[in-house]
Amino acid sequence: MSTPLEKARKDPESMKARILDVARRIFGEYGFHGTTTRMIAQEVGIDISTLHYHWGGKKDLYESVVIDINKDLRQKLVEVEQEIHGLPLGERLDISIDMTTDYLFEHPEVSNLILFRYFGKTRSDGNLDAIIPEFTADIARSMGLARDKKNVQPETMMKVLAVMNSIHNFISGENFFRPMVKVDRERYIALVKETLKFILIPAFTQNEAI
C-alpha cells in the first residue's frame, strides 16, 4: 500500500513530484485562497488539466502539500533529536535552534504553510487538522518537558508551541522583517538564531533540574 504522495516522492523527476514541489512553494507564498491552480501549472510549465489529472482538485493538492510538509518537518526533528541526545538542556536547545533554523531557511515554505494553517481559515473547511500536530509531544519529550508521548500537560504543550512558533515567525516573516532591520540575508539568519537563543534558553534553563 503506497499513497500517491509516497509514490510521488520516490521519483523526484516525475510530473507528480514536480507539481507537488511547485505547489509547496506557491501555496506557501500566497496561502490557499491566494493561490490559483493556474499559477502552479504555469510555474511547472504544464496545462491546468494535467495538474487535475495528477492531483485532483485544488483542495486535494493542498492537503497533500500540507501532509508532505509536516512529514518533512517531523523527519527533520527526528534527525535533530538524534544529534542532541544526552546533552545538557542548554546545549540541546542551542543546537536544536541552529539546526532547525538552518533547515527552515532552506525550506521557508514549510514555515509559511504551517503558519497559514494556524492563523488562516479556509472558506470551506476540510478537517485535516487532527492529522498534523502530534509531534508537539515529540518535541516536549525531546526537551525533557514530558516523560512519554501521551498525557503531555497543557502547560507543556503551550511552551512547545511558543518555541516552534517563534522560530517559524522569523523564517516566514523574513520578507517583512528583514527590510525593517535593514540587514542582508546572512546577517538576518545570524540575528534570528541569536535572538531565539536570547529569548528561549534562559526560560528553560533557569531552574534546571536535569
Partner DNA sequence: CTATCTATCCATCAAACGATTGAATCGTAG
Partner DNA sequence: CTACGATTCAATCGTTTGATGGATAGATAG
- When asked if residue 71 is in the footprint of a copy of itself (CB under 8 A), the reply is no
Among 1, 2, 123, 148, binds a copy of itself (CB under 8 A): 123
Footprint of DNA on 52-111 (CB under 7 A): 52-54, 57-59
- When asked if residue 48 is in the footprint of DNA (CB under 7 A), the reply is yes
C-alpha to C-alpha distance for 2 and 6, rounded to whole angstroms: 6
Tell me whether residue 20 is exposed, middle or buried, using C-beta atoms within 10 angstroms of its C-beta: 0 to 12, 13 to 18, 19 or more.
Answer: buried
Among 119, 148, 151, 186, binds a copy of itself (CB under 8 A): 119
- When asked if residue 166 is in the footprint of a copy of itself (CB under 8 A), the reply is yes
Binding partner of 22, given DNA, a copy of itself, none, CB within 5-8 angstroms per partner class: none
Tell me whether residue 131 is exposed, middle or buried, using C-beta atoms within 10 angstroms of its C-beta: 0 to 12, 13 to 18, 19 or more.
Answer: exposed
Cell numbers for 146:
514530558
**Backbone region of residue 100 per phi and psi (left: phi > 0; alpha: psi in -120 to 50; beta: other values):** alpha
C-alpha to C-alpha distance for 54 and 61, rounded to whole angstroms: 9
Binding partner of 209, given a copy of itself, DNA, none, CB within 5-8 angstroms per partner class: none
Among 4, 5, 15, 105, binds DNA (CB under 7 A): 15
CB of 94 to a copy of itself, least distance (A): 14
- When asked if residue 112 is in the footprint of a copy of itself (CB under 8 A), the reply is yes
